[in-house]
Amino acid sequence: MVDLVDETPRVRTIVFDVPGWAGHRPGQHVDIRLTAEDGYQAQRSYSISAPENGNRVEITVELIDEGEVSPFLVEDLMAGDRIELRGPIGDYFVWEPGSGRPTQLIAGGSGVAPLRAMIRAAAATPGAEAVRLLYSARTEEDIVFRQELDALAAQDSRIQVTYTLTRGHGPDWNGLSGRVDRAMLSEHVWPADAGPVCYVCGPTGFVETVASGLVELGHRPDRVRTERFGPMGGVP
């Protein structure tokens, strides 16, 4: 492990150097296993939050107060520590350039991690299709990668980022407010007749609500791909 970046008070990006890493695709994940001195082991899956970059692998972890793995990764892990990592894993929730269709990304909280990898990859791919991100966070402080996402959108007309906050905001906030529902989806995501491929990632309830709303709005179920995580802090 070579670097630690505190994204928010509860979210940290961890950058690993993995000798011989064979590469990965945006949307894949890795398994992280911790082993205690008494031999007890705990394992969790985390999405890779950046595209392929040599032997470097990045994951972005949100602190789960009662979790077995995330408290150590967010609060105790130090640069230079060694961690057992296995991957890359997963083929379903993967973004590929050249589909000929726009891409719709919808994130809840730290579910933005694999979607950030997709946006970075799209920005680095000449002629890639347009990408829209609808990102729901609790507060402005909880928006992960905000500076980077805003910069990518400002630099590349193919990328559009829309935020919504669910727990209030200050007087200078110029984004949306409220939970992602059918009305918000109807107004701020690609319409079904544009034929987008949709990627939805976040807590289980969020993902189920968003996926159902997309289908109700006419999006084909086979073009709505989901990744969800629960209170035990799995993917991402």
Q: Taking the CA of residue 120 as centre, how many other CA atoms within 13 Å lie in the half-sphere pointing to its CB?
A: 18
Residue among 1, 110, 96, 4 at smallest CA distance from 52: 96
> Does the pLDDT of residue 233 top 70, yes or no?
no
pLDDT for 27-43, tens place per residue?
999 999 998 888 889 99
CB 223 within 8 A of CB 195: yes
> Does the pLDDT of residue 126 top 90, yes or no?
no
β-partners of residue 84 are 33
Residue among 63, 67, 58, 57 at smallest CA distance from 75: 63
182 class by beta-carbon count within 10 Å (0-12 exposed, 13-18 middle, 19+ buried): middle
Residue among 144, 44, 145, 119 at smallest CA distance from 87: 44
Looking at mean pLDDT, say which of 71-80, 111-120, 121-130 comes out highest.
111-120
Task: Please report the pLDDT score of residue 21 as a whole number.
Answer: 95
Task: Please report the pLDDT score of residue 1 as a whole number.
Answer: 62
CATH of the domain spanning 103-229, picked from 3.40.50.2300, 3.40.50.80, 3.40.640.10, 3.30.465.10: 3.40.50.80
Please report, for residues 34, 108, 117, 135, 212, the alpha-carbon distance to residue 84 in angstroms, rounded to integers and kept in the order given. 7, 27, 22, 31, 37
Q: How confident is the model at residue 137 (pLDDT cuts 50, 70, 90)?
A: very high
Please provide the average confidence, as pLDDT, over all residues in the chain. Answer: 92
The rounded Cα 16 to chain-centroid distance in angstroms is 18
Which tokens in the block code for residue 7?
Answer: 């994204």
> Does the pLDDT of residue 235 top 50, yes or no?
no
CA distance 104 to 114: 13
Task: Please report the pLDDT score of residue 97 as a whole number.
Answer: 85
17-22: average pLDDT: 93
CA distance 207 to 229: 9
pLDDT > 90: percent of the chain: 81
CA distance 3 to 93: 26
114-139: average pLDDT: 93
Q: How confident is the model at residue 184 (pLDDT cuts 50, 70, 90)?
A: very high
Task: Please report the pLDDT score of residue 36 as a whole number.
Answer: 83
β-partners of residue 151 are none
Domain residue extents for the chain: 3-89, 103-229
Superfamily of domain 3-89: Translation factors (2.40.30.10)
75-100: average pLDDT: 90
